[in-house]
Amino acid sequence: MTDFLGTDWHEKIFTGTWTAGSGETYDVIEPATGETLGRLGAASGDDVNAAATRAAAAQKEWAKTTPAERAAVLRRAGALWAEHADELAGWIIREAGSIPPKAALEISSAEAICYESSALPSHPKGQVLTSNEPRWSFARRVPAGVVSVIAPFNFPLILAMRSVAPALALGNAVLLKPDPRTAVCAGVAIAKVFAEAVLPEGLLQVLPGGLDAGEAVVAAPEVSVISFTGSTAAGRKVGEAAGRLLKRCHLELGGNNALVVLPGAEVGPATSAGAFGSWMHQGQICMTTGRHLVHESIYDEYVEQLAERARNLPVGNPATEEVAIGPIIDEKQRTHVRDILDKATADGATLVAGGPGEGAFVPPTVLTDLSPSNPAWAQEIFGPV
């Protein structure tokens, strides 16, 4: 798994080159097995501030390049995702606990995002505005400067690349803070692809780290835009900090989404859609279908068929078995899912299929008889429930 990525990243952060950070190093863990896949450096707040200074200097020269030069870098990056798809998808499978089709989707999406972004440099850059005076009045778009991208663990590559690639294409520098749990497949891989695509040094810096690094990528004076994808609780803090600093902030946060099944619906296709919506990637998706609102005329049949689907979905290690459901990302999240299941049944919910499972795995779970105040109804679970 190290042919393209190599080993230069071990115990390092990426600041244009691989270098030791001032934070502690940490193990990269495969959630399905607990095996250590490598060891990464963690960025401190000081590392982030130094990176922001370097990025701001590099950005000034990058913004002067022609649209054709920037587009060429993005096209080369797109080709590299395709060229090394098998290896990079392997990292998504092992590090993020993804089944192979989901990993392949991430790689193909990263490729497509690069190609689509390569068209952005040649888009119109402004407008001619109306004026009562005998002169031209122009509005012109210019690069924002340094953009911080804070990405999550669940679809780590897509949710990083959709901000990284457009920002670079439009003449900005990027500080990428990947989730430390998926910082190889959505941090090291991104750094390697853009380095091979001949992106000038300093424009992209990959800085996995803890709370101090997260605060710094928002607060660094050189940063003018923050793109955050993650939990609602963390997003509130990012938004509040950005608001105090009068910085542009884009937030994609959690959700507790409902599928509505109306009378007359075909139950088979409805439960198929419901199963996919609830259990893809172990339910670790902000758009996951956590609640099914089913009309009473087809309720019993729907519950029976959905539970049968749950019982027949294989659960296991996606790197070694053909499964539909892989591991929950880490022990903290597994504990959260199991705690909500315990509270839900204590509050009167009926467990029809699934349950807490064992070790890294929570099977597809169906609960019925939930009141609006039941924790499994009222809260985002981020698990296959």
For the annotated catalytic residues, the residue numbers are 252, 286
For the chain, the maximum distance between any two Cα atoms, rounded to a whole number of angstroms, is 75
Amino acid at 135: R
CA-to-CA distance for 16 and 207, rounded, in angstroms?
11
Element (H, E) at 316: none
> Residue 312's closest CA among 254, 368, 272, 277?
272
Asked if residue 355 lies in contact with residue 365, where contact means CB atoms within 8 angstroms, the answer is yes
Local structure of 360: helix, strand or coil: coil
> Residue 222's closest CA among 143, 308, 294?
143
Local structure of 372: helix, strand or coil: coil
CA 145 to chain CA centroid, Å, is 23
Q: Token match 């900005």: residue?
A: 172
Q: C-alpha distances in angstroms, 288 versus 115, 256, 282? A: 28, 7, 9
